[in-house]
Structure formats: structure tokens, C-alpha cells
Amino acid sequence: MSTDLPVIRLKPKANARAIRHGAPWVYDNEVVTDRRTKNIAPGSVAVLEDEERQPLALVGVNPNSRIFARVLDRADAGAPDTAWFAERIGKALGLRERLFDAPFYRLIHAEADGLPGVVIDRFGDTCVVQPNAAWAEVLLDEMVAALVEVTGCANVLKSASGRARGLEGLDDQDAVLTGAAPETPVAVPMNGATYMADLTGGQKTGLFYDQRPNHAFAQRLVAGARVLDVFSHVGGFGLAALAAGAESALCVDGSQPALDLAAQGAEAQGVSERFSVRKGDAFDVMTKLAEEGETFDVVICDPPAFAPSKQALEAGLRAYERVAQRASALVREGGYLGLCSCSHAADLSKFRQASTRGIGRAGRRGTLIHTGFAGPDHPMHPQLAESGYLKALFYRL
């Protein structure tokens, strides 16, 4: 074990067994926080000991965060270097290359891929990194060197957007870490559709890969159908539907740049004549469509996280219920409704209850025909419920 690393220790009542069995986080109220511990620089790598001073794990420390320590490796592993990152990234790459025939996927999904707080999405020869934990920010140079070595990517960009970096006390400055940022949106093939990803000005890393299997399920419902894609971002479900033979797709979103990218995707896909957009607040647009007497064979809603924390859970569940109620009114008899949630605080049971209540409040009855989750490039850490955040429910009304 490296003797030059700082040491932190669990309080007597903290659950050391959980760490031994794979729990990835240690909260600030579980650690002995004396003056020395509080003075450890955010992002430092340390050795975590139990109350009897037995080494438990190598951890990344942030005294300014509610998550005081994130487990990185065995206690005797020594501080991470480029070779350490290369080994982790190499394992993750091996899985993705087995799963996908083109280099467009989430390459690193944080704790589940052994890099706590780190997200890396790959877009061909460009990788976009979100170092959402202080330890990863401190070791960013080593991580990027390993990433280029293992993947051969020419360009590496840093995305500093998102709530997580603020909770860690990190900056919100995007950067080009290696190579250059693409000057135009990147065309991403997925499920036979073409999506345009803005890697510098778009949301998060530029595209959401997590819905890939849910797009694929929706494609089984849409042959010859009129499809409404609400909270569409860059055309997620709408463009997938057109690739699978939908008669038409209308995408609704509050962001004009996102809708412009969706239209570019439709053009690249050769389906512009069957594609249309409507900008506005999703609730208002759904109400207006109902007033106009519009109905669709398939309606799918993929809103942002209405319940990003436990404190926001009740308000978030009410919002999901309202989505289901408004959307149900737009589904023709015998048609299909897809409802999605990326809120980790709203577990599957609560989200399903809220969705079903909303359908009932619209005066509709539905049978649940499919429950979907994130794709396998978003693996779930079995002891971290937050990593299983995405749910998709498909009903026949």
C-alpha cells in the first residue's frame, strides 16, 4: 500500500461491510472528519480505513461534497496513473465493441465502468468527457492520455455542464482537451436513423445514447403510423419511427436548436417530407393539439428529469402524471403511448403508478405491454440505484 497517500477513517457506526461488498460511495456523515481530514484537497486520492484502522479501499476524496469518498480500487492499488486508466477504459471498450458495430456509444458509465463520476460518450473519432467528480478533474490529463491511447480517438472534448459538477464544487467551463472540436454537428447512426449531435453547444455530451433499445422497441409499433414525439430533443423517437416506416412524425420541443438538429437528421435520413416540428412548451402544445382534434397512432413522451432529487420527488411525480394525462388524450383508440423518466429519485414503481394515474384521469384505460431501460452501454452498478435511472413504459390504450 502506498504510504504517501492520506488516510481517512470510517466512524464506528458506519457500514464498513457495505464497502467490502462493493458499495461505491462514502457520505460525509460516515467519515471521521477532524481538522486533518477536512484539509485534504478536493480530488485527492486516499486510503479508506475501517474503525479498527484496517484498509478498506483506495478512494477519491472531496471534503466539500456530500459524497465524501468514491471507491476507486483495492486499498493497496496505489494512486491511479495513465496505465490504471488505460486498463479500465480498455475493459469498457471491449464490451462496447462486442455490443455495437460502429463507434457510437457511451464508452464509460461512471461507477459501473470503474471510473466513479465519469461519463464518456464516443462519436466516431471524437470522445466527449464529463468529469463529474473532483478526483477525475485532478487526474484529467492521465485519463485523456489513456483514452487516446486505448481508443485512437483524435479529438477529446470536456463537457462541464450538468448538476453533478456543481455539487462537487467544480467549474462549468467546457474545453477542447485534445485535437479539435467538430465544426459541424456529427451524424450518428442508430437503429437505422440518423441523428445530428452538436458536441459543443448541445445538451450534456450532445446526444442521449441511453434510449437506443427503447427507440428499437417503439419501431415495432410504428409501421404506417402517425407518430407524435414530445420532448423530442434532436428527434429521438420521431426519427427512429420514420426509419421503421411510420407514415409521419411530429416532434415537439421547447428548444429551437434541438428541433433544427432534428430537421437536419430527417434531411440526412431522406425523410423530410414525412417529418415536421412544433416548438413550444410541451404541455401547452399537447393541450393545443387536443383542442385541434388531433390524434396519433403512437405518442411518446421523453421529458427531462422532473424528479432530480428526493426533495423534488412529489412535484416530479405530479408532473409525470400530467404528461400521461395530456398525452393519453392524443392517442387514438387502440393506439400506443410511450412514457419515459430519467429521474433516479422516481423509481420504477412510483413512475408506473404516476403514469397509470394520468392515463386514468384522461378517461382512458391502458394495458402495459413493455417496460424498457437504458441500453447495455449504460451498465448498472448493482449497489447504486442511481445508475439505473432510465425507465420507459409502453401502453396500449
CATH number of the domain where residue 133 is located: 3.30.750.80
Positions in the chain short of pLDDT 70: 1-3
Question: Is the residue at 302 inside a domain?
Answer: yes
pTM: 0.94
The grid coordinates of residue 212 equal: 437506443
Q: Domain end: 162, 178, 194, which one?
A: 178
Q: Is 131 in the same domain as 275?
A: no
Tell whether 314 is covered by a domain.
yes
On whether residue 1 sits in a domain, the answer given is no
Length of the chain in terms of residues written: 397
- CA-to-CA distance for 373 and 383, rounded, in angstroms? 17
Q: How far apart are CA 288 and CA 8, in angstroms?
A: 58
- The residues, any chain, with a CB within 8 Å of residue 46's CB and separated by 6 or more, are 5, 6, 7, 8, 40, 58, 59, 60, 61, 69
Residue 106 within any structural domain of the chain: yes
pLDDT score, position 3: 59
Three-state secondary structure call for residue 197: strand
My answer on whether 328 and 375 are in the same domain is yes
pLDDT of residue 252: 98
Does residue 242 sit in the same domain as residue 388? yes
Q: Is there a single domain that holds both residue 250 and residue 268?
A: yes
If asked whether residues 270 and 352 sit together in one domain, one would say yes
**Domains of the chain: total:** 3
- The CATH number of whichever domain residue 42 belongs to comes to 2.30.130.10
Amino acid 1: pLDDT: 39
Domain endpoint, select from 131, 157, 178: 178
Q: Residues with Cβ < 8 Å from 391, sequence gap 6 or more? A: 340, 341, 348, 351, 352, 371, 372, 373
Is position 113 within any domain? Answer: yes
Per the structure, the complete domain to which residue 38 belongs is given by: 7-73
336 and 197 share a domain? yes
In a 10 Å sphere around its CB, with 0-12 CB exposed, 13-18 middle and 19+ buried, how is residue 94 labelled?
A: exposed
Please check whether residues 158 and 206 belong to one and the same domain: no
Q: Which three cell numbers stand for residue 318?
A: 405530479
Same domain, 360 and 226: yes
Residues annotated as catalytic (active site), given as ranges = 342
User: What does the buried/exposed string (b/e) look like for 138-150 if buried means 16 or more CB atoms within 10 Å of the residue's CB?
Assistant: bbbebbbbbbbeb
The C-alpha cell of 159 is what? 463537457
One domain for residues 144 and 41: no
Q: Which amino acid is at 43?
A: G
pLDDT score at 2: 46
Within a domain: 2: no
In this structure, the answer to whether residues 222 and 308 fall within a common structural domain is yes
| Residue 263 domain-assigned (yes or no) | yes
Q: Are residues 197 and 146 in the same domain?
A: no
Report the pLDDT value the prediction gives residue 386, as an integer from 0 to 100: 81
For β-strands 175-178 and 155-158, DSSP reports them as antiparallel
Calpha distance 181→336 (Å, rounded): 40
SS3 content of the chain, % helix, strand, coil (to 5): 35, 25, 40
Domain boundary among 136, 157, 178: 178
| Domain shared by 208 and 261, yes or no | yes
> Does 130 fall in a domain?
yes
